[in-house]
Structures are given as C-alpha cells and as structure tokens.
C-alpha cells in the first residue's frame, strides 16, 4: 500500500479545551507523519466550502458559525492507509456512539461539538488539503523512525 495524505482539523472546541496536544499525540503514536499544521480562524466562505456537502441541511448554518467561531488547528497527516485509519482513530460522528479509545469516544459528547474532522475518501482528502493549504505550506520530510514503522 502506498503512502497517502489526509486533512485533519481540530475544531474550535478542541482548541478551546486544550486538546490539541492529546489529539496530535494519538496520530504521532500510531506512526503517522505530520506534514503541515497551522492555526486558522476560517472565514464563512472557507467553512462553507469545506462543508459544502452538508449545505441545505438543518445544522449547516450552525456548523459554519461554530467552525468560524475561533481558531481551528488544520493539519495534513501522511502514511500508509492514513485516510481510513484516521477515521478509525477519530470514531463515528456522534460521540456518544463513538467507541471508547477513539478521539471522539474519549473527549466529546455532542455531535455539534465533536472536536475533530477527518477526510472520508481520497477525493475529499485531496480537495480539502488544496482548500486549506498552499503547496508550499506542506513539508516533505523523512522521519528517522520510518524504518522501525514500515517493513
């Protein structure tokens, strides 16, 4: 399986609650590689584009308002199978149904305050990375631990 990249965003609730460190730790401990990260308070335009698939749903306006309410920690993570694996680390959308041990399962209660976003497919990962990051904001680097993570 070849390496791939996914877009991960720690939503304003995660930032406000001081959960950036514990969440990033889970991705690092798994063995994935951080290749881009920035704090950004998204405009309504950016938030609406990011969640365009949900435009028209009852929660859309509140979702955009929430995402624009403060800094988001936007990241790109890289590794074999990282898109699907990140979704597993994150847990299902409703935190009360997310398994203990997952990020949402351990740190959240309400669906509207579920602290983290992760791309759900190769197509959305590519689109979301391009939406949130310029190419020059992504670092290409080789962790020295790679040979101990991949055989």
Q: Which residues are annotated as a binding site for ATP?
A: 11, 59, 87, 93, 104, 114
Q: Measure the CA–CA gap between 90 and 106, rounded to whole angstroms.
A: 10
Q: Measure the CA–CA gap between 133 and 80, rounded to whole angstroms.
A: 21
C-alpha distance from residue 126 to each of 63, 121, 122, 131, 149 (Å): 22, 9, 6, 9, 24
C-alpha distance from residue 86 to each of 5, 7, 13, 25, 44 (Å): 10, 9, 19, 13, 26
Do residues 89 and 102 touch, judged by C-beta distance below 8 A?
A: yes
Residue 36 vs 63, nearer CB to ligand IDP: 63
Q: Does 114 bind ligand IDP (CB under 6 A)?
A: yes
Q: Does 127 bind ligand IDP (CB under 6 A)?
A: no
Q: Does 124 bind ligand IDP (CB under 6 A)?
A: no
- The count of residues interacting with ligand IDP (CB under 6 A) is 9
The length of the chain in residues reads 151
14: enclosing H helix or E strand: helix 12-16
Residue 6 vs 114, nearer CB to ligand IDP: 114
Region near ligand IDP per CB under 6 A, out of 26-34, 35-43, 108-116, 135-143: 108-116
Contact string 23-52 vs ligand IDP (x = CB under 6 A): ------------------------------
- Point out the residues that are catalytic: 117
Q: Does 112 bind ligand IDP (CB under 6 A)?
A: yes
Residue 37 vs 63, nearer CB to ligand IDP: 63
């Amino acid at each position: 399986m070849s390496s791939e990249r996914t877009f991960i965003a720690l939503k304003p609730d995660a930032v406000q609650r001081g959960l950036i460190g514990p969440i990033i730790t889970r991705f690092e401990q798994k063995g994935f590689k951080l290749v881009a990260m920035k704090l950004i308070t998204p405009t309504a335009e950016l938030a609406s584009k990011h969640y365009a698939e949900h435009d028209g749903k009852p929660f859309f306006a509140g979702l955009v308002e929430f995402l624009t309410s403060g800094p988001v920690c936007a990241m790109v993570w890289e590794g074999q199978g990282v898109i699907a694996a990140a979704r597993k680390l994150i847990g299902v959308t409703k935190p009360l149904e997310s398994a203990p041990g997952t990020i949402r399962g351990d740190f959240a209660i309400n669906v509207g305050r579920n602290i983290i976003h992760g791309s759900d497919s190769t197509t959305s990962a590519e689109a979301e990375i391009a939406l949130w990051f310029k190419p020059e904001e992504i670092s290409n680097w080789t962790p020295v631990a790679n040979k101990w993570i991949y055989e």
